[in-house]
Amino acid sequence: MAFGMDSETYAKLRADIRADLREEIMAEVRQQLIPMVRALVQEVMDSVKSTVAATQFDQGTHYLDAVQQAKEKEIRERSVVLVGVNEVTDVPPRDRNNVDCETVLDIFDTINSDSVPHQIFRMGSQQEGRKRPIKVIFGNSHDAKHFLRNARSLKGTRFQHVFIRPS
């Protein structure tokens, strides 16, 4: 055979060269593939991180929305709205608020309610010829329900034109 070798030695040498070549080629391929694989893994990790961050933000936002909604519901449950209460317009805002508070307390007396309102305020913006509703917020929902139940006793009084509804 070539270079004075027998065929067995030649085959062995050829197999060794092929193995060495295969090893060198694989090492070179690994050297090229490793950075590409690392870049792909980093891309996937970044994508997962941003997805997780967005999900956590959404969950946090949903949690805050749920808390806000629960708080608003709790306030609505302990509130009533008085519609049709006359509104004084020829006095300063502070005096207007005092007149509204006195009127609401007179309504409380008329329906024999011993509840104490926590907040009393007009809803909306003032417009000529329009009576804004008054929102009354109680300390608890029981007082609001009791006030609503006794609202019928306004009939036949000077407040018969006032309609009381849940918030």
Distance CA 151, CA 165 (A): 9
45-72 mean pLDDT: 77
pLDDT at 128: 85
Residue 120 shares a structural domain with residue 149: yes
118 and 134 in a common domain? yes
Instruction: Determine the structural domain holding residue 8 and report its residue range.
Output: 2-74
Residue 141 pLDDT: 92
Q: How far apart are CA 103 and CA 122, in angstroms?
A: 12
99 and 33 belong to one structural domain: no
Are 159 and 89 contained in the same domain?
yes
Residue at which a domain ends, from 74, 107, 129:
74
User: pLDDT per residue over 63-101, tens digit each?
Assistant: 778 788 888 999 999 999 999 999 998 888 889 999 999
CA distance 45 to 52: 10
The residue ranges of DSSP E strands in 78-133, in sequence order, are 79-83, 117-122
One domain, residues 94 and 142 = yes
Mean pLDDT of 25-29: 83
pLDDT of residue 53: 72
Q: Do 88 and 111 lie in a common domain?
A: yes
Domain stop point among 44, 74, 104: 74
- Residues constituting the chain: 167
Q: Please give the model's pTM, rounded to 2 decimal places.
A: 0.62
Residue 1: predicted pLDDT: 52
Quote the percentage of the chain above a pLDDT of 90: 46
Determine what percent of the chain is predicted with pLDDT higher than 70. Answer: 93
From 74, 96, 126, the end of a domain falls on 74
65 and 94 inside one domain:
no
Same domain for 159 and 117: yes
What number is the average pLDDT over the span 110-125?
A: 92
Give yes or no: residues 31 and 111 share one domain.
Answer: no
Kindly state whether residues 92 and 161 are assigned to the same domain: yes
Judge if 70 and 82 occupy the same domain: no
Evaluate whether 95 touches 127 at the Cβ level (below 8 Å): no
Q: Does 128 share its domain with 90?
A: yes
Domain count for the chain, please give it. Answer: 2
